[in-house]
Amino acid sequence: MVVDGGATLADWRFSSRKSHIARADQMEAIAQATGVTSLPEMVYADNFLRIEHVPSGATIAFEAAPAIAACAKSTHDRVQVAVAEQWASASAARPEASCDWTFSSDYSGTTAPAWPWVDNPGFAIDTQMLTRPDPIQWYDDVVLFEDELHDHGVSVLSVRVRVMPQCFLVLMRHWLRIDGVMMRVQDTRVFHDIGKPVICREVKLSEATFHDLQSRGHAGHAAQYPNADAALPYLALKRRTMQTCCVPIVPINEP
């Protein structure tokens, strides 16, 4: 079953789709397009969240194929090599060489045309606005891919959106748990207060090994961390980046 959703807020238009797991021909097409030969077990090729700034036509979208393509360029490789060796030793499996075998990446959405993001580490999301009891005009939660890492954990990429009368928030989350080895949460948030001429994109990377958790007196069993919400309070923040873009958006003219 295909479920389409959408909403509008001021100059912004939101659309989403939730559909079935990719067919074999879709999986083959993604592998050829991305160069990633070992794909997640469950790829939702037709799923997406798309946000359009109507006056400029500029969009930001969150989809499975570009996220998978970014795995081949992952900046997490150095960490993952050591983890992969430990995991492979226990499971007699081999990590896929063409891609980060945990499907981790720095994917933070696809803008078209390119948006003029500027690094702005001092900027912050207005959490007070988000915690106000304003009505939620539209909400959706879209899964892009899932993989159980050969029954040794979980790797899930999903994206949520919340639209309220004065703002909207997108949360794309990659949740990774390698049982007995480590856990990681990478959160990408896109926030806009329609009363201000700026939209922001924040990326936070948090992780911990199970050894670290046990050394700090926390549970060392994977069953204690069934999802990212359960794990996140125990993970250490490793990296935060913040970018802003002026609104109205003036896309970058690319050759």
Residue with the two structure tokens 């389409």: 4
Per-residue pLDDT tens over the stretch 58-95: 999 999 999 999 987 766 644 444 455 655 555 444 44
Q: Cβ(100)–Cβ(69) under 8 Å?
A: no
| Domain ranges, ordered by start, for the chain | 3-246
Per-residue pLDDT tens over the stretch 89-131: 554 444 444 557 889 989 999 999 999 999 999 999 999 999 9
pLDDT of residue 241: 98
Inter-CA distances, 120 with 76, 239, 244, Å:
23, 14, 6
Structure tokens at 32: 């050829």
Structure tokens at 80: 């993952």
Residue ranges of the chain with per-residue pLDDT less than 50:
77-82, 91-97
Classify burial at 38, counting beta carbons within 10 Å of its beta carbon; exposed 0-12, middle 13-18, buried 19 or more. Answer: middle
pLDDT of residue 75: 62
